[in-house]
Amino acid sequence: MDTAVYNDWQLVSLSHLPAWTLALLCALILAAAVLSLRGLSREKQPFRRRTLIVLRLLSALCLTALLFEPGIRLLQTRRARNAVAVLLDLSSSMALPAEGGISRAEALRRRLSESSALWEKLSQRFRLDFYGFGESAERLPSGTVPQDGDFQSGATDILGALRRAADESGSHQGAGGLSGILLLSDGADNTSLGASLDSQGRSDIEALGIPISAIHVGGAAPRDLAVERISADDFAFVRSPVTVTAFIRASGFGPRTIPVTLRMDGQPFATRMLQIDGDGLFPVEFTFSPDQTGRFACTVDVPMQVGEAVEWNNARSFPFKVIRDRIRVLHVAGWPSWDMRFLRARLKGDPNIDLVSSYILRDASDDPRTVLDSELSLIPFPMQEIFHDQIHTFDVIVIQNFSHEEHAYSMSRYFGDIASYVRGGGALVMVGGENSFGEGHYEKTDLGPLLPVVVTGRPPVTDSFQARLTDEGRTHPIMRMSSGDSTAAWRGLPLTAGAHVTKVRPGAQALLDHPFETAGGRNIPIIAVGEADKGRVMAILTDATWQWAFSAGGQTQGARLYDRFWSRALRWLIRDPELTPVRMTLDKSALSLGERLSVQVEARRSDYSVAGGAQVRLTLTRLPASDENGAQQWTAEAGEDGTAHFDIAPEAAGAYRIEAAAYESGKVIGSDRNAIAVRFGGGEQGDLADRPRLLKEITLVSGGRFFSTGDRLDEFPLTEPALVEIGGRKEEPLPGMPLVFALMALSLFTEWLLSRRWGYP
């Protein structure tokens, strides 16, 4: 064989006969041999019988060989260059300590450096494919040595990395396939495999069909406290009990007591003392009743302990949304009237409203025999408890035709508490009547500066009139009775019987006004709204809104309008997100560090007209706000539809407040706020222990080899690459075929000669 050209050979048949012909001839030869051998059974001498059997079998074999014409096929071949995948663990747990006082990442780098000779040897037969993996696997340039900044992935998915390597290298049995995988990791999988292989994990590893060898880089579990996870509902109802459970993992500490703190928007809210008695997972419960609605970023944290390995997992943030199950309304009325009756019926009949009401049906002047102040109401009204102790539990306070000066309750002494409640985010409605605006002298109290109107001192208008929807009212959400223009609906109201004469306070808006009666150069308002710091206030300057529930011809449009007006008024007062001038929408409220957040801000003016071209500023502040936690800011211009879009990335894990403000001509036209929680992704934040047991199980199931921390790295199991024919082929007959023919002839002649001599016919 010409080894300079051909390096492999095969034994083949050069016969031109079809396969079925060869099979038939072989069967005939076999039958003839059997019959011939049976004819020798009468031979009594063993030597003669054995000699003849050998000669006849030799003849049959030679004949068969001649039929098949055996030859040699010369081939030019070589081994396919398969791949060996080297998987490097780049998760954040690799920054933890390993044996010898170095980090696991440094131990991995040393392993790569110490094995340079092995890499050189493998590269002569295989293609080396390097991958870095954590939460996902990515291809790395050949010979990559990861640096400290590369170990940042928030999770470890070993099975996903193995599958990625297997898929990219194709079939492990075919040419150019994958001969094996070498895995360098601490084994701290926190996704699909967990601490050890279950039946599904074994099946997944076996399905790869590739020998997997593993190098353990790690050490004993470090001393650490971690807030591993939080169990909390996506939302809670205001003033209803809710439970948040935090799970604290302790490792390397003996029995001790540690404080666990729950923070709301960066401020301490509650602290529980946790007793730990060794390594394990310990639950801590916080049960409370939130008294404010909104979106909050909450954090559970534990203090750093002496000798603790890392600090970044001592806190975990999560979003917390508090919503209303019902709107809690306090209705205080000072005189029976149709307006009071209709409003009370409307509030009481709404299943979404929790109504607390007090109605003063008479005062001291109604009965000269009244002796006790408590006799001035049907039941004693708990003024101190309602207006001081529990005032923050109400969403809206409605004061209707109430004389704070005359009644023995002396409600005016609580106006300071009500004013603080409103400025802090509460809502107030003042409804007209003979004891309200003007006659009630509320302008002299703490509530006066909050009202959206200024009392003029003029007597009320007593003539009936047709209330008129203002330009501001046409775009305001309170007055919007349909998706289109609501002017026609308001134009169809019955006549209004009288109104107080006031002026709109600067910065407030008149939604309905008198068609011709003026004060201060403007038509006097019938309904006015305004802001008071964080709260909202509405003034209704008449006691005839009950008439809106009726319309000509006994139709029901009026009743629907009356109900819809109060429904939308209450929603606006409590700052329903759908009715705010500037509205911010987030695509998510919880994200992992490194993820991006999409924010959309819709800007409208105070009259709710579209603020196209407004400047929108987005501010992201890490909580608790401080000089160290500097705020990130972005600006954008709203489009013609009043919408601005932002795509942002928080710089660190933690709780954040996010605020959006819209500006026109340098003045704020509205703002909105929200909260997000940014955390380290995956389970890298929890259990920091490495898992050599998992790596051993993977190598055992796949047929690989496990190298512990101190083992020398040398040969490990790899499947042999397939032989691939890369050149031509040549077929030649066996050089000894004439000898086979001669041997068959000699065998037949010798048998014939002996048979004649021994007396066979």
Q: What is the 3-state secondary structure (H, E, C) of 648-703?
A: ECCCCCEEEEEEEEEEECCEEEEEEEEEEEEECCHHHHCCCCCCHHHHHHHHHHHC
Strands 496-499 and 461-465: antiparallel
Q: How is residue 33 written in tokens? A: 């041999």
Beta-carbon count within 10 A of 75 CB: 17
Q: How far is CA 80 from CA 111, 213, 226, 520, in A?
A: 28, 21, 49, 96
The answer to whether residue 3 is domain-embedded is no
CA–CA separation, 335 vs 338, rounded Å? 10
Asked whether the beta carbons of 155 and 681 are under 8 A apart, the reply is yes
Q: What is the mean pLDDT of each run of 10 residues along the chain (761 residues)?
A: 59 73 76 71 71 73 71 64 86 77 84 83 84 87 78 81 82 61 86 82 90 85 82 86 92 87 90 89 92 87 85 87 88 87 91 84 51 51 77 91 64 86 93 83 87 91 92 88 72 88 92 92 94 93 88 50 90 85 90 88 83 93 76 92 93 90 90 88 62 89 88 83 61 68 70 68 55
Q: How big is the chain, counted in residues?
A: 761
**CB contact set of 274 (below 8 Å; sequence gap of 6+):** 248, 257, 258, 259, 260, 282, 284, 302
| Residue ending a domain, choose from 266, 286, 313 | 313
Cross-strand partners of 674: 658
Question: pLDDT at position 250, please?
Answer: 87
CA–CA separation, 244 vs 332, rounded Å? 37
Do residues 512 and 629 share a domain? no
Secondary structure, 3-state, 576-606: CHHHCCEEEEECCCEEECCCCEEEEEEEECC
What is the span of the domain harbouring residue 661? 582-681
Cross-strand partners of 328: 354
311 Cα distance to chain centroid: 23
Phi, psi (5° rounding) for residue 285? -110, 140
CA–CA separation, 363 vs 627, rounded Å? 57
Do residues 115 and 211 share a domain? yes
Dihedral Cα 370, 376, 381, 386, nearest 10 deg: -120
Q: How is residue 569 written in tokens? A: 């008024």
331-345 burial by CB neighbour count: b if 16+ within 10 A, else e?
bbbbbebebbebbbe
Do residues 402 and 441 share a domain? yes
CA–CA separation, 24 vs 295, rounded Å? 89
Radius of gyration of the chain (CA): 46
DSSP 8-state secondary structure symbol assigned to residue 101: S
Asked whether the beta carbons of 659 and 631 are under 8 A apart, the reply is no
Closest listed residue to residue 75, CA positions, set 727, 735, 734, 732 = 727
The answer to whether residue 117 is domain-embedded is yes
| Residue ending a domain, choose from 651, 681, 711 | 681
Question: pLDDT at position 553, please?
Answer: 36
Question: pLDDT at position 51, please?
Answer: 77
Do residues 413 and 477 share a domain? yes
Closest listed residue to residue 340, CA positions, set 411, 396, 398, 400 = 400
Do residues 586 and 519 share a domain? no
Beta-carbon count within 10 A of 109 CB: 19
597-619 burial by CB neighbour count: b if 16+ within 10 A, else e?
bebebbbbbbbbebbeebbbbbb
Question: pLDDT at position 47, please?
Answer: 75
CATH number of the domain bearing residue 271: 2.60.40.10
| Residue ending a domain, choose from 681, 706, 734 | 681
Asked whether the beta carbons of 515 and 506 are under 8 A apart, the reply is no
693-729 burial by CB neighbour count: b if 16+ within 10 A, else e?
ebbbbbbebbebbbbebeeebeebebbebeeeeeeee
CATH number of the domain bearing residue 339: 3.40.50.880
DSSP, collapsed to helix, strand or coil, labels residue 404 as coil
Strands 315-323 and 294-301: antiparallel
Burial class (CB in 10 A: 0-12, 13-18, 19+), 456: middle
Amino acid at 46: P
The answer to whether residue 356 is domain-embedded is yes
CATH number of the domain bearing residue 110: 3.40.50.410
Phi, psi (5° rounding) for residue 624? -70, 145
Amino acid at 581: P
Q: How is residue 435 written in tokens? A: 């004891």
Do residues 464 and 523 share a domain? yes
CA–CA separation, 607 vs 609, rounded Å? 6
Do residues 494 and 345 share a domain? yes
CA–CA separation, 573 vs 562, rounded Å? 17
Asked whether the beta carbons of 320 and 297 are under 8 A apart, the reply is yes
| Dihedral sign, Cα of residue 54, residue 59, residue 63, residue 66 | positive
427-431 β-sheet, strand order? 353-359, 327-333, 396-400, 427-431, 535-540, 522-532, 509-519, 468-469
- In DSSP notation, 151-179 reads --BS---HHHHHHHHHHHT--SSSTT-EE
Amino acid at 539: A
The answer to whether residue 130 is domain-embedded is yes
The answer to whether residue 656 is domain-embedded is yes
Question: pLDDT at position 6, please?
Answer: 63
Question: pLDDT at position 604, please?
Answer: 87
Question: pLDDT at position 569, please?
Answer: 94
CA angle 531, 532, 534 (to 5 degrees): 90
Do residues 555 and 587 share a domain? no
Number of domains making up the chain: 5
The answer to whether residue 318 is domain-embedded is no
The answer to whether residue 322 is domain-embedded is no
Do residues 455 and 381 share a domain? yes
Amino acid at 30: L
Question: pLDDT at position 75, please?
Answer: 64
Do residues 524 and 616 share a domain? no
Asked whether the beta carbons of 248 and 228 are under 8 A apart, the reply is yes
Do residues 286 and 204 share a domain? no
Asked whether the beta carbons of 190 and 684 are under 8 A apart, the reply is yes
The answer to whether residue 321 is domain-embedded is no
Cross-strand partners of 618: 634, 660
Do residues 143 and 249 share a domain? no
Q: How far is CA 758 from CA 33, 56, 95, 745, 755, in A?
A: 20, 16, 94, 20, 5
723 Cα distance to chain centroid: 49
Is the pTM higher than 0.75? The answer reads: no
Q: What share of the chain is helix, strand, coil (3-state, %, to 5)?
A: 30, 35, 35
Closest listed residue to residue 453, CA positions, set 417, 499, 415, 501 = 501
Cross-strand partners of 238: none
